[in-house]
Structure 1
Amino acid sequence: VYGPAESQSAVFGDVCSLLTSPVDGYDVCVMAYGQTGSGKSCTMLGPHSDDGHILPLDPQNDLGIIPRVAEELFRLILENPSRIPKVEVSIVEIYNNDIFDLLAKDSIAAVSGVKREVTTAKDGWTEVALLASEAVGSASKLMELVRGGLQLRAKHPTLVHADSSRSHLIITVTLTTAACSNGTVDRACSATLPRERTEAGRARRAGRSRRASQGAWAPQPVPGHPAGRAEQVQARLQLVDLAGSECTGVSGVTGSALRETVCINRSLAALADVLGALSEHRGHVLYRNSRLTHLLQDCLGGNAKLLVILRISPSQRHLAQMLQGLGFGIRARQVQRGPAKRPPSSQTEGKRRLD
């Protein structure tokens, strides 16, 4: 539990330890939940302007989780230049229970993104059909894509929040790494370029590993297995800034904004129901009641490590929403799924697709 005086860096301390997991082949999901105006986007992104640019007042304390994750992730990647994974990013928003691809190269829909559908593949993984993704080689490039996506995110002013996000934002970072024949990630069996031939190797020897945030190297192609087999392990890091739960009597929304509120509250209720079903170990979990839970099915009920950050308003005016948020937190804490497992390699039956 963090008080209002705690710094962003202190909150990031609970996230930082999870970031070695995607580098080692495990899925991770970090999501922020709370009512409208409680500070979810500030926690995840830090202060930012209407055009999506991050505006830290104090670079050490005001940066949000997502830019800090980008820096730390590439720092960890550069710690082992002999095993640099391919890093790809996709960004979607779920608005009025529809999925929009915020990285799609479609000039016709450049203002609002391109509508996509979530499906379940034959191997059981959930995926978004035709989802655009871009390879990134630095924290700065990753954040450039995030800023571009934020410019397209749906927003609408309410009586509670003058810049209220009206959609769920999901940023997915996929790391693809060469695997051993047994499907696990191993530094010894990843045949990459010699260290002295890579920018990462030179930066490491010169003690400049943090140049990753400045675009010091380009992502290396994923190598094949030494025996010639192209086994790969893919791990996903999902960063989720949920839209805020909202009481219409307090927010004063009408018309199209009222419809947005209804869709937001329904999807958040579906998320709470899924967590409740998982905590009670029910045999059937209704993931498809909402596109939010359908899209996040793998991290909610699969093998991912899931961290929920709950934002609470201390105002007496928002007591009902505060209690509802605490109830959601109770459900999340009660979910016990056992130890996380690595996803299978692409040579096995459980191959995971990217698009």
Structure 2
Amino acid sequence: MMSRAIRYQGLAGRSTNEVLQLYAARGGQQKLQRSFLVTQLHRAIKRLKQDLKSLHSFALELSKEFRRQSKTCLYQVLAAVQGVQLQNEAMQMFQIKAFDLEQSLQEVTERYEKEKQKRRALHNSLVELRGNIRVHCRIRPLLPFDDAAGHSISQDRQRNSSEKVAYAADDETVLVKCSRPGHASINKTFQFERVYNDSESQDAVFADVAPLLTSLLDGYNVCIMAYGQTGSGKTYTMLGPQVEGNFSFAVEDESELGIIPRATQEVFRLISEKPPGSYWVEVSVVEVYNNEIFDLLAKDSYGKVFSIKRDVVTTREGKSDVPLLTHETVENASEFLHLVKKGIQLRVRHPTLVHAHSSRSHLVVTLTITTVVFGDNFGTSWEDEQASQRLNKDVSCTFPQKKRESLSASSSGTSSPVQFEATEKIKQVKTRLQLVDLAGSECVGMSGVTGAALRETSFINRSLSALADVLGAIAEQRSHVPYRNSKLTHLLQDSVGGDAKLLVMLCISPGQKYLTESMQSLGFGTRARQVQRGQVKKKNFPMPSKAK
């Protein structure tokens, strides 16, 4: 079309030029015959008419083509607009559907969470009725020192040491998945009451521990125990972060605090809600090192805290006891943690290739709450009367001085040492919270220990093996449970054997480097979870008809 327009434009220009040339030459051609000029002019005019006719036809065709193309473009625009409208309507429908699905998903998620909480509550009730040991598992993040390998680790294993093989599939399942050249592939799951992934905080861990502390004031003994290999995060979980091996419970970021400082604060908060003068709290700190028990709060003649060896015995009632163990009375969480910090500073540590500040002993921090209830008619039996008389006789030597004064003031309005009349009955109920940071199991080849540290490792592994044997004997309901095979199990006999609500916090390193140790810890947790000890005993608090 464009080429034709150019051609017609050229013809029109040529014809016009011819006419103009003829008019221009008219003055200079007077001698030419007039008829010749007229003929030439007629020919030029004829060609001009033909060109004009052709141009007119072209203009008509161009106009028709323009109208046709305009109509086509208009149809295309209308079709595009309709398409956009349809797409907008479809998008709106999709958005509505997505919103409906999102609401449905939220409702289903809420129902799922509620059902999961109900199921967990029922499961916990079943665990309590059976006396099962609660087992939680915490998977720590990969850390820079995971890239370092022990002397006996092959180059292939060293290259893959930081590869992650342990995962939290959900909040109740651990997945271990590993495929190594020359080894059988592993794809195994482990179920526990709670599983924490490597991004969950200390807050999340303690949120599941806190309900056990309420049980403590309801009359139950409680034990929380951290188990795992060296460097798996046990001490961080129980105590919190340490700087060059030293702990500080007065950290700026309280979210980093571990179970022990948080549990202490929670216990004193719960006590503050109770009637004043009815409770007092004592603390003891011991370590089990090389199968010997050491009192970490003992003091020398100058009042300086030092470590002294103690022994563990079984009483006539079949309970474990440590004679002469130091029990310090504390009034608040700050005093408690101050004493615990002093004891921890005496704890034996030794650097290994796996951990620069490896704990070489089992730490047991015990918080004992004594509840004092007194009234005039707790019971009428002869046994109650005799027990009351014994308590009245011994009260001045068994109550701490501060509590004797506070109880005396609350009962008689004076500050003199407490004196109870023979007709008044007194009841003491002791409940105990044991917080245990076990030493880590070790592979000698990986840790690279020698000499005294090698001997320490041997005792650590033997004591942890004894703990597994005790749990196995209880699970199989054997007539004899070998508590005395280790000072650790003898010391923890009351907690492990069934007189306490026991929570085992498994700590797992996720790297392939620690696969064997992690599988061993997960196996230990699985066996512990299967133990049924019968319903945990509650120490009943008598309810007086008339409080003094």
Task: Report TM bin, short chain.
Answer: 0.7 to 0.9
Cα 1:223–1:152, aligned 2, differ >3 Å: closer, same or farther? farther
Indicate the SS of the match to 1:25. coil
Q: TM-score w.r.t. structure 2 length?
A: 0.54
1:276 aligns with 2:472: yes
Contact 2:305 2:342 in 1 (8 A): no
Which whole-Å CA distance do the structure 2 matches of 1:93 and 1:331 have between them?
A: 25
- Alignment counterpart, residue 323 of structure 2, candidates 129, 152, 158: 129
Contact 2:240 2:247 in 1 (8 A): no
Indicate the SS of the match to 1:21. helix
Cα 1:55–1:272, aligned 2, differ >3 Å: closer, same or farther? farther
Unaligned runs of 5+ in 1: 184-190, 198-220, 346-355
- Give the CA deviation at 1:87: 0.6
Q: Which residue does 1:212 correspond to in 2?
A: none
Q: Which residue does 2:454 correspond to in 1?
A: 258
Which whole-Å CA distance do the structure 2 matches of 1:114 and 1:324 have between them?
A: 33
Contact 1:86 1:222 in 2 (8 A): no
Q: Which residue does 2:242 correspond to in 1?
A: 48
Q: Which amino acid aligns with 1:234?
A: K
Q: Which amino acid aligns with 1:280?
A: E
Q: Which residue does 1:17 correspond to in 2?
A: 211
- Give the CA deviation at 1:52: 3.5
- Alignment counterpart, residue 309 of structure 1, candidates 505, 512, 521: 505
1:236 aligns with 2:432: yes
Query: Larger deviation: 130-139 or 47-56?
Result: 47-56
Which whole-Å CA distance do the structure 2 matches of 1:111 and 1:266 have between them?
A: 29
Indicate the SS of the match to 2:198. coil
Alignment of 1:1-355 (within 5 A): 1-49=195-243, 50-54=245-249, 56=251, 58-59=253-254, 61-82=255-276, 84-106=278-300, 113-179=307-373, 181=378, 227-343=423-539
Q: Which amino acid aligns with 2:479?
A: G
Q: Which has the higher helix share?
A: 2
- Give the CA deviation at 1:271: 0.5
Q: Which has the higher contact order (CA 8 A, sep 6+)?
A: 1
Cα 1:176–1:224, aligned 2, differ >3 Å: closer, same or farther? farther
- Give the CA deviation at 1:104: 0.4
- Give the CA deviation at 1:338: 2.5
Which whole-Å CA distance do the structure 2 matches of 1:233 and 1:251 have between them?
A: 45
Cα 1:325–1:66, aligned 2, differ >3 Å: closer, same or farther? same
Q: How much identity, in percent, do the aligned residues show?
A: 59
Indicate the SS of the match to 2:326. coil
Structure 1, residues 107-159: CA drift from partner, whole Å, max 9, x if none?
69968600000001112211101101100010001100110011100000000
Unaligned runs of 5+ in 2: 1-194, 385-406, 542-548
How large is the RMSD of aligned CA atoms in angstroms?
A: 2.6
Q: Which amino acid aligns with 2:493?
A: Q
Indicate the SS of the match to 2:469. helix
Contact 1:47 1:54 in 2 (8 A): no
Query: Larger deviation: 298-307 or 287-296?
Result: 298-307
Indicate the SS of the match to 2:242. coil
Which whole-Å CA distance do the structure 2 matches of 1:259 and 1:111 have between them?
A: 26
Which whole-Å CA distance do the structure 2 matches of 1:75 and 1:225 have between them?
A: 33
Which whole-Å CA distance do the structure 2 matches of 1:343 and 1:328 have between them?
A: 30
Cα 1:21–1:43, aligned 2, differ >3 Å: closer, same or farther? same
Indicate the SS of the match to 1:233. strand
Which whole-Å CA distance do the structure 1 matches of 2:539 and 2:479 have between them?
A: 22
